Amino acid sequence: MESPLSCHWPDQSPSEPPVPPVPGQEPLLLVINRFDDEFGEYHRFLPEGSFRLAYLATADALDPLDREGAVATVVVPDLRLETLLPQARRIAEEHGPLAGVVGLSEFDLEVAARLREELELPGWGTSYVQRFRDKTVMKEWVAAAGVRAPRFLGLAADTTAEQVLEAIPLPLILKPKDGAASRGVRLLRGEEELAAALAELAEEGSSPGHEVEEYVEGPIFHVDGIRVQGQYHCVTVSQYLNTCLDFVHGAPLGSSLLDPGPLRDHLAGFAIDCLDALELWTGPFHLELITDAAGEPVFLEVGLRPGGAGVPFVHRDLYGIDLYCEAFRTSVGLKPLSAEHVLPAEAAAGGWLVFPEPQAQPARVVSRASLVEAVPEVYGEALPAVGHVFDGSGGYDHAGGRFLLRGADQASVNAAMLAAIAHYRVDVEPAEAAAVAEAVEAVEAVEVLDGEPVAL
């Protein structure tokens, strides 16, 4: 049987052994799943006969699960702790003690940590996970280590614009402490605009869940990979085309891998300082940073998970690394399956591009065109189905169009992304709001990789 790494769990004694399995049975892992695609194929991540799996999943996240091979698959109405805990206890009673809990989504990290604590299982606890979920906490840890991060202020229910401006000058960023994909993020440039935003949050009672932070202008990068015992197992550095905030407001979002060279090495080294500050010794990460006018990096935020949008696909296709597989394995203390792949020197230029849903919603897709032949660097795409109704809930995964690119170098990939933006169109018509809930996709979404249908 495969044995876990001897690694230090931040909220557990490093010498504490995993829960012993029932004699003659493989250890049992409990998996929280909200993914409806290949990221939910957890059975692929473990050798046959090494572990047993039990799933807690919502009804729309069942398709990728190996239900036949699982000891239990429980469909739950939501993924809140109060819903999952009694089901987890029942699974443990019926099938033997749990050895661990896995929740790979950004939005399941906290509940997975709570379950570990309630069930007295090893792994990341809530105080550790908070470093990667609460943006004020993560910046406190990074800044305390002497790594540059934006100035920030957590809001209270009665925080005023004057108090904010005493700490942070305009323009500034207002954002949820635990948000993702720039949802709810606002760039505020004037005092009246700030006061109105604070009043809105106060009326909603959501002020304590938000922060304001210094606005730093410059190109934004993301660093993605896996760490094992304080060292990179794999790492890449990419630069955004547009920003996540631009995407929320209707602009395409893209990213291209940096070419080998001093900039890539410098930013990867800066990311080490950030991850060390947060004590992320073993596990996945998606870290975002910005470089200021002097070219110096500034920490923005980090997730204890693989990156979203096209990040996992580019790693899979260009490097042969399944980030979700390695995230799963390292989250329960197992060695990565892939070979060590630290900042590969060989050229592996690529990137991804995502188009947002139309701004006017609900809207039904009338037509859309493939880019595979129009832009040679596009090798994979996922297009919305004709008849699909956009309702504003698509995000990066069910977007207006998703594309994977590869080229000779970063410059050729960037040029191809601009060509794709110029060529791609999605034609839509207004849809009746009442019909959205009953909308049926008349044509399957087109997903192509190198000319063949594929899950993308």
**Of 271, 261, 280, 263, residue with least CA distance to 235:** 271
* pLDDT for residue 157: 92
* Counted domains in the chain: 4
User: 296 and 402, same structural domain?
Assistant: no
User: 229 and 205, same structural domain?
Assistant: no
User: 328 and 309, same structural domain?
Assistant: yes
**Of 165, 161, 170, residue with least CA distance to 202:** 161
Structural contact between residues 312 and 324, judged by C-beta atoms closer than 8 angstroms = yes
What share of the chain has pLDDT > 70, as a percent? 87
Gap between the Cα atoms of 302 and 278, Å rounded: 10
The dihedral built from the CA positions of residue 110, 34, 306 and 228, taken in this order, carries a sign that is positive
User: 315 and 223, same structural domain?
Assistant: yes
| Segments in 154-304 forming alpha helices (H) | 161-167, 191-204, 244-248, 262-277
pLDDT band at residue 178 using 50, 70 and 90 as cut-offs: confident
Which DSSP helix (H) or strand (E) runs through 422? helix 410-423
User: 274 and 334, same structural domain?
Assistant: yes
Does residue 17 lie in a domain region?
A: no
Window from 46-50, 55-59, 436-440 with minimum mean pLDDT: 436-440
Does residue 82 lie in a domain region?
A: yes
| Domain finish residue from 308, 329, 346 | 346
Structural contact between residues 231 and 222, judged by C-beta atoms closer than 8 angstroms = no
Provide long-range contacts, Cβ within 8 A and 24+ apart, for 70-76.
Answer: 70/43, 71/28, 71/95
Does residue 141 lie in a domain region?
A: no
Gap between the Cα atoms of 138 and 123, Å rounded: 19
Gap between the Cα atoms of 23 and 43, Å rounded: 22
Q: What is the DSSP string of 313-347?
A: HHHHHHH---HHHHHHHHHTTPPPSSPPEES--S-
Does residue 7 lie in a domain region?
A: no
Q: Per residue in 325-369, pLDDT tens?
A: 999 999 888 889 887 766 555 667 999 999 998 887 788 999 998
Type of residue found at 421: I
User: 331 and 360, same structural domain?
Assistant: no
pLDDT score of 439 more than 50: no
pLDDT score of 210 more than 90: yes
**CATH value at residue 36:** 3.40.50.20
> Distance of CA 431 to CAs 362, 384, 394, 436, Å?
5, 15, 16, 7
**CATH value at residue 260:** 3.30.470.20
Single pTM value for the model? 0.89
Cα-based torsion angle of the residue sequence 12, 145, 285, 35 in order, rounded to the nearest 10 degrees: 70
pLDDT score of 233 more than 70: yes
Identify any residues that bridge with 354 across adjacent strands, giving them in sequence order: 253, 402
pLDDT score of 127 more than 70: yes
User: 196 and 232, same structural domain?
Assistant: no
Gap between the Cα atoms of 134 and 153, Å rounded: 12
Does residue 146 lie in a domain region?
A: no
Ranked by mean pLDDT, the top range of 34-48, 94-108, 171-185, 441-455 is 94-108
pLDDT score of 148 more than 50: yes
* pLDDT for residue 326: 96
For residue 272 the two structure tokens come to 């080490």
* Residue range(s) defining the domain that contains residue 254: 217-346
Does residue 2 lie in a domain region?
A: no
User: 223 and 263, same structural domain?
Assistant: yes
User: 210 and 221, same structural domain?
Assistant: no
Window from 208-217, 231-240, 340-349, 358-367 with minimum mean pLDDT: 340-349
Q: What is the DSSP string of 35-75?
A: --SGGG-GGGGS-TTT-EEEEEE-GGG-TTS-TTTSSEEEE
Does residue 208 lie in a domain region?
A: yes
Does residue 93 lie in a domain region?
A: yes
